[in-house]
Amino acid sequence: MTNILIILTDDQGRGDYSAFGTKDIQTPHIDRLFREGVEFQNFFANSAVCSPTRAALLTGCYPDRVGVPGVIRDENPENSWGYLAPGVRLLPQVLKPVGYHSALIGKWHLGTSSPNLPTERGFDFFHGFLGDMMDDYWTHRRNGQNYMRRNKKTIEPKGHATDLFTDWACQYLTERAKANRPFFLYLAYNAPHDPIQPPPEWLEKVKQREPGMSEKRAKLVALIEHMDAGIGKVLDTLDTLEKTGLAKDTLVLFTSDNGGVLANGANNGPWRSEKGHMYEGGLRVPGAARWPGVIAPGTTTERTTLTMDLFATSCAVAGVSIPAGIDGTSFLPTLRGEPEPPESRAHYFVRREGGVAYGGKTIEALRRGEWKLLQDSPFAPQELYNLKADPLESTNLATKNPEVFRELAAALRRQIQQGATVPWQRLEPPK
């Protein structure tokens, strides 16, 4: 059976790897995935922020349909905008009946307390960080709280979080090579989410190579290049274990949870805006897949793909039935180089947030064919763009195409109604 490794980065912009053509960054190991596999030209995160995209990945559903329309902040309930719905089956639970051992290494961000801990939602093993962002990559705290765990045990590991997650992933792969059962490893880095804290030696290396680069950009590039080296170690571990069949029988899927933060120096390619927003720069992310012997190296696909499609694809690869009622679709035919029917579904994106800018309300977008309707502030009018003619979303056509506007607005309302049937707050106080 095929092993599945999903590598998810945090706030990595669509253009922040060198295979994209970006000249001031060097990511040979991420580039290797694109070179040795297939590149998705149109890969989209399910949301413009962390928790909803992660919920979509693990459930195969639009995030508000599983109770996570916004960022989960358990440590601050007054500013928490999601609660992973009880009873929803996560990917490790679906894979378990056919023998998969499942592990999450790195960032969880779907709950910091029972019953929404990783090992309570299907993972056999968890080694990582429960919360959202770290206040410091070296001390691993969030608002003074330690959210580093090995399964349910609080731990105090020493070192940069990126190095820890890399080392733990390599250890896990080495252990699984000795086991006679397939594995699903979800490796979720915190990098390059702020605070932008690369190891000093990596920052110095970037500064020497790019003397004209701003301090802000240099720190982000160094943090990404440091993470890239970690991804290289993980891939090298697969290669050194090739005699066991581990590398040959492992599908590696790579993407990011949302676009990059421009204030941190991120490169989202030519697309408009950034993380947190419904324009293309907040939703377009890197996407690659490597599967030796199945995926033809150096190929590309124009297929429009969302994070939630990783769920259905993993099910198809594992040979388990894709659960009824999910929103994601399998792109296994694409991986095999087989033709697929033209994309007919609409694509829906949502974010709920607090503060003055959002007031606890939502922002949304709906793509159908070449058209995209979005509302980037709950207090602003909806906007309409033709992405084929205007991929940079520079000309709002809401008043010029009223029929299309009304049609997409009605479709968007139906999606919002579906999501509203699922609570995004805990209904009962914790026991």
Residue 60 confidence (pLDDT) above 70: yes
Q: At what angle do helices 215-240 and 200-209 cross, to 10 degrees?
A: 110
Measure the CA dihedral 127/249/230/334, to 10°.
Answer: -110
3-state DSSP call for residue 375?
strand
Paired sense of beta strands 250-256 and 287-290, if any? antiparallel
Confidence at residue 56, expressed as pLDDT on a 0 to 100 scale? 98
Convert the pLDDT of each residue in 284-312 to its tens digit: 999 999 999 999 999 999 999 999 999 99
Confidence at residue 339, expressed as pLDDT on a 0 to 100 scale? 87
Confidence at residue 243, expressed as pLDDT on a 0 to 100 scale? 66
Q: Report all structural domains of the chain as residue ranges with CATH numbers, in order of start.
A: 3-335 (3.40.720.10), 347-419 (3.30.1120.10)
Measure the CA dihedral 404/343/331/39, to 10°.
Answer: -80
Angstrom distance (rounded) from CA 123 to CA 94: 11
Residue 176 confidence (pLDDT) above 80: yes
Residue 64's nearest CA partner among 348, 279, 292 is 348
Q: Is this model's pTM higher than 0.95 or not?
A: yes
Residue 232 confidence (pLDDT) above 70: yes
Residue 43 confidence (pLDDT) above 90: yes
Angstrom distance (rounded) from CA 76 to CA 70: 13
Confidence at residue 431, expressed as pLDDT on a 0 to 100 scale? 56
Residue 243's nearest CA partner among 304, 178, 287, 187 is 178
Q: What are phi and psi of 384, to 5 degrees?
A: -125, 130
Average pLDDT in the 266-271 region?
98
Which of 29, 50, 193, 226 is labelled catalytic? 50
Confidence at residue 208, expressed as pLDDT on a 0 to 100 scale? 97
Mean pLDDT of the chain: 96
- Is 50 catalytic? The answer is yes
Which of 29, 61, 101, 109 is labelled catalytic? 109
Convert the pLDDT of each residue in 155-175 to its tens digit: 999 999 999 999 999 999 999
- Is 61 catalytic? The answer is no
Confidence at residue 47, expressed as pLDDT on a 0 to 100 scale? 98
Angstrom distance (rounded) from CA 384 to CA 370: 11
